[in-house]
Amino acid sequence: MNEHPLMLDGWLEFNKYKWGLKPKRLKLKISDNGPTLETVIYLDNKGRIAMPRLNPYLPIVFHPTSTKLPYKLRYQWLSISELLAEKFKKRGLRSSVSFSPNVEDIRSFQWEGFLSEPRYTFFLNFPIDFNEIDHSVRKNINKAKTNGFYVQPTFDFQKVIECLSDTEERQGFSYGLTPSDLEMADKLMGEEHFRCYTVFAPDGEPASSRIVLKGNSIALDWVAGTKRKFLKYGVSDHIVYSVLNDLADSNVRIFDYCGANLPTVQNMKSRWGGELKVLYNIRPLNIRTFLSMGLRWFRNYRRKK
């Protein structure tokens, strides 16, 4: 069960520490010899299911029986996912919740009255053929190397926050993380699973940082940031290249780029030639949801005018 980084004990404890949500493991089954479903949910102080900040999705692990027949596998999934959908309906959702990309059928949740919408991410599958990535990426990697930038694992989390903060200020958002938060995550998860990388300029100044959550076979691109003055040197691509090489030596099979929903993000990440994956987001059918949808429509309308 602990193969996925979002199901590690340390990650659950970090979410409890940082966001004040209670993690709860679920293992659902229909019968002793039937299919099972494992996941983790988080509960707020009212017992509602909540999505912790900076979590790309809730991990779902489905264990079917040994059958290879499509109609039986479909029946097993619908039967077991119905149990999960019922639990979601009984507890209620504080806000929207996303499921891991391996969940391709969410009809059980739709039948329980939840609204759903697709979201996107990129999977880079190992081994990666760097000859298939966009020429601009290879050019940036060479530029960073030529100018003396180098990548190292980082445990000075103040330097990591420097890079994250620069991107936050430039793009107008906030991760809400502090050096103490990163120290706690590192302590709870361990260096094998909580991997911090930083690109340094020739004089030792941190230029770009990236944190990856690593499981046994999949790694997630968690948070990243680059200082504005170093963008022109291609350091953002240089650090991704170094991260991928490091993960390749750790027997990781998939690098989840964690998000490709904005045009600028899609353009940046698609250059690496990954596989576009769909993940589903659900939300309750209530007034708050309709107000949120209306506000989103209004923002898009104003942007187009």
Could you read off the pLDDT of 163-177 as tens digits, one per residue?
999 999 999 999 999
pTM over 0.75: yes
Whether a cis peptide bond, with omega within 30° of 0, leads into 127 is yes
Tell me, yes or no, whether 235 and 197 share the same domain: yes
* Residues 247 and 140 grouped into a single domain: yes
Q: Which pLDDT tens digit goes with each residue over 256-300?
A: 999 999 898 999 999 999 999 999 999 987 666 656 667 666 666
Query: DSSP secondary structure string, 245-269?
Result: HHHHTTT--EEE-----SHHHHHHH
- Taking 70 as the pLDDT cut, the residues of the chain under it are 1-2, 286-293, 295-305
Q: Do 36 and 91 belong to one domain?
A: yes
| Domain range enclosing 194 | 127-252
Alpha-helix residue ranges (DSSP H) falling in the chain: 9-19, 70-91, 107-111, 135-146, 157-171, 179-189, 235-248, 263-270, 287-304
In a domain, 199, yes or no: yes
- How many independent structural domains does the chain possess? 2
Same domain assignment for residues 226 and 165:
yes
Q: Is 271 inside a domain boundary?
A: no
3-class SS at 123? strand
Residues 102 and 160 both lie in one domain: no
